[in-house]
Amino acid sequence: MIEKSDVEAVLDLIRPSLQADGGDVKLVDVSDDGVVSVELQGACKGCPMSQITLANGVERILKERIPAVKSVVPADLA
């Protein structure tokens, strides 16, 4: 089982990069099967590049640091 506090700690590492571009990320949920739901905020919300940010940024780093993470999805699709 993935601890939300562990996911939040990794998101805290990612957050400065997003904030530098006027965005942010909020943890919404972590499922028992390793799916992390997040909400992109600020400039990231609705940005055409948000899916790339989610997959190549947030998801990649979370999977590297927490191997039990299977995927990262936007909260509105969870």
Note the pLDDT of residue 34: 96
Task: Report pLDDT digits (tens) over 38-69.
Answer: 999 998 888 888 888 888 889 999 999 999 99
* Residue 36 lies in domain: 4-77
Number of domains in the chain: 1
Q: What is the pTM of this model?
A: 0.89
CA distance 78 to 74: 7
Ordered alpha helix ranges (H), the chain? 4-20, 50-52, 60-65
Q: What is the CATH number of the domain that holds 21?
A: 3.30.300.130
CA angle 50, 56, 58 (to 5 degrees): 75
Residues 4-16 have a mean pLDDT of: 96
pLDDT of residue 77: 60
Write down the mean pLDDT value for the chain. 91
pLDDT at residue 52, rounded to an integer: 85
- Tell me the residue type at 36: V
The answer to whether residue 78 scores a pLDDT higher than 70 is no
Q: Say how many Å lie between the first and final Cα of the chain, rounded.
A: 18
Which pLDDT value is given to residue 53?
Answer: 84
